[in-house]
A and B are shown apart, each in its own frame.
Chain A
Amino acid sequence: MAAAVLNGVTNGIASSSKIDSYLADESRFASIDKVLDRRGPWTVEEFVGGEGTKDFLRKQSKVLVIGAGGLGCEILQNLALTGFNDIHVIDMDTIDISNLNRQFLFRESDVGKSKAIVAAEFVMNRVPGVKVTPYHGKIQDHPTTFYQQFNIVVAGLDSISARRWINATLVQMAEEDEEQLKPLIDGGTEGFKGQARVILPTVTSCYECSIDMLTPPTAFPICTIANTPRLPEHCIEWASVLEWPKVHKEKKLDTDDPDHIEWLYQQASARAAQFKIEGVTWALTQGVVKNIIPAIASTNAIIAASCCNEALKIATAAAPYLNNYMMYVGNESVYTYTFEHEKRPECPVCGGESLIAEAKRDWTLERFIESLINRQDLQISKPSLSYSRGALFWPSPPDVYTATRPNLEKPLVDLLGEDEGIVVTDPALPVSVNISIKYV
């Protein structure tokens, strides 16, 4: 297929209609059909194959792509060319000129526009029959019901907090209803390194299970940046961590504001000159304060390809899917390793138990807590309870205790609605427990 497209390009203008007719022809999926039409030596047991499978892939499945950046562009391209025809994409970002070297769905005239919207239009124009629905905004602004409509979620994010959020949301959905288990395929790259993983919420380890494996953000000792700078980065951190709050007081540093970066750059340059340090540049200043990691287009291509193959395998059962973590290390020759990251029993997101607690309509909160303490399956003695509006009752620290103690005497029905979830922690529990209340 790639060769045919390439020929079209090299043959010049006349061939553009050739590409169109090729793409419009369903037989362009001939290669993929070979693995979907019949069983092979590695086909998984559940595999049925044939029209039903192809129909599910091309007509029924609905995929959500989170992120339309470096990984997102590759993922959208791959999914569309694999035969997924109902793709949704969400991204809060707008296109920056510096994206254009690798985010190939964007052109110079698109700078400033929504990544999701431009990417969706590009893919729809390029690949006939594919519907891409864009959402310009934050994933956190969509309710659980939004995520319920998809079969698979593929994430190409650059933010840990966004990953933690989507992971926690999908785990919670699966905990509440097994039917709502949505596989999450998470890709990530950092320079020559990358990873692809398959998360089956509540079944496999989740993103939060492996949070301890992440390298914490680079930080230099504050005493070094204050007194004995040796690196250009020390001068930049001095400007952003110490000088900015000193000079601008309450005004917060906005790392997206070029004027703010310029100020930091000037300060850092002066300090670097004073200490005879070379290498402070505008780009490095921006890189340090925004924690920019070099993005390499081909690493994105490798990781996105891996993620999309997993999406195809999960959607069709044509081959066993990744179990469950593939790391790719390209900066010391090439090394890849696939392993099963195990569930962490004390994971605050998926390790916690989820249970239903019955309560009588005339109970106070205190009576309800007593019933929790009496439960044999919990074995707790000093529980702290939170709900959607914050702390419901915490026995400590003293301030929070004083603020939440009046809740003890209130009728439970005034505090919590039917099916409203609460989170319980206790010194005796390694994890939190999600409890939904059922009034009897």
Chain B
Amino acid sequence: MEFLASLIPPSLSAHAPAVIVVTPLLMAAVAALMPNGRLGWAVTLISTVFAALLALSLIVEVQSAGVISYAMGGWAPPAGIEFRIDALNAVLLLVIAALGLLSVIYALPSVADEIAEDRQALFYSAFLVCFAGLVGVAITGDAFNMFVFLEISSISTYVLVGMGANHDRRALTAAYNYLVLGTIGATFFVIGVGFLYMATGTLNMADMASRLPDLSDSRVVQAAFAFIIVGLGLKAAMFPLHLWLPNAYAYAPNFVTSFLASTATKVAFYTLVRFLFDVFWPEAPFVAVSFLWVFAILGIVGMIVASVQAVFQDDARRLLAFSSVAQVGYMMLGLGIGTAAGVSAGMLHLVNHAMMKGALFMALGAFAIRFGIRRISDLNGFAQSMPFTSIAFTIAGLSLVGVPMTVGFWSKWYLGVAALENGWWWAVAALILSSLIALAYVARMLAAIWVAEPHHDKAGAIAHARAPWLMLGPLWVLAIANIWFFFQPDFLVSLTNAAAQAALSGATR
């Protein structure tokens, strides 16, 4: 990791916080001008590789320096816009950059199959804008700037989801629903930020945090808190606000789904952590009450209800989308526990979920490109038709349930331990119940793949196919990561522990 990070020269790494956002933004304009999809893909690949290297160099620097602050345009914070990286958002940068890079490698055959040739370059351009927006949300230290980046990523996401219309016209209504709800979420968030600005006179989050404790009786601040939680909860697909997610993930192009499922809601979850612990402070009465009664309770309800809904889906991608809502519930539970162990477990699940959902959606995309399947019943006997993809799918599916030997086990282990430390035995019971339901819906798919009778062509032979190498590569990287990090959890656990420490130390100040 240090070797890769050292590929970035020091003169550049000093400006890495700005360059990592600017490169994909500018390259989006270049990609839009490319005459065909392949060149657009090449531009996208180059910029995501570059962004991934910059992310690594930033993480290495955070580990040695603690906090990196970058003043945009030379205007010193709090007046100017500050890009601020600590151990908390460094993890997010790693997730976005790694999953972004893997999805882009995967994209070439998938996009060539699903998007009209004359729109592919523009499609990649929209992806790069979305990527830049997500990185920007993770990296910025300015509340209003965060809103801007949130909208940059959301608006390009609506476009990306809508591009699924080439295959299935329902993508258009899914994108439109997402647009309406996403805009409501953004509006709530910006109203909250406006209230905070009114109360504190600043937009810099660190500066806000130092002024807010004197204002804990202010109704304006309390209203701002409520608006921000609802707004960000919508973006993160927190349980009752998740209605946009299942259709958006089910009808978007496969590459978009695997990228969004592993990054977009994660970034919104990060912003929630940032606001709860760093901008507001957990000791405030109105914040403290939200941990149990909003995040823990809604997280648990989401875990169970969304898992049950997933069991009854016919469309494979819709099933996984409902499962994503349930997984957001796990993260919310970790956040609701409110201790360093809880936040660390939530962040660990964030990273792990990115790996497993990324792999699962990639595998479904590989099934789709060869056989055009969407429904679970169409997966019958795929272990014989596409064995390599099926094995990777199985590994990631077991990881989703939390079977030992996969990384999903550690998420649930640390979540359970953190809940027990708080004496929340009921949360552990809910965790086990939800895992059992997850076993039910994963078993439905695995049974179809491994047990059911395979498809036969007219001559009676079993149809064979292999997914393109560019799709198999990233899929297997993620599948192996799911196993590797079970045996070597220290790397991830130390990252997320540092992240939780950074989040909570912002609170004690």
Partners in one complex: no
Q: Which residues of B contact A (CB under 8 A)?
A: none
Q: Which residues of A contact B (CB under 8 A)?
A: none
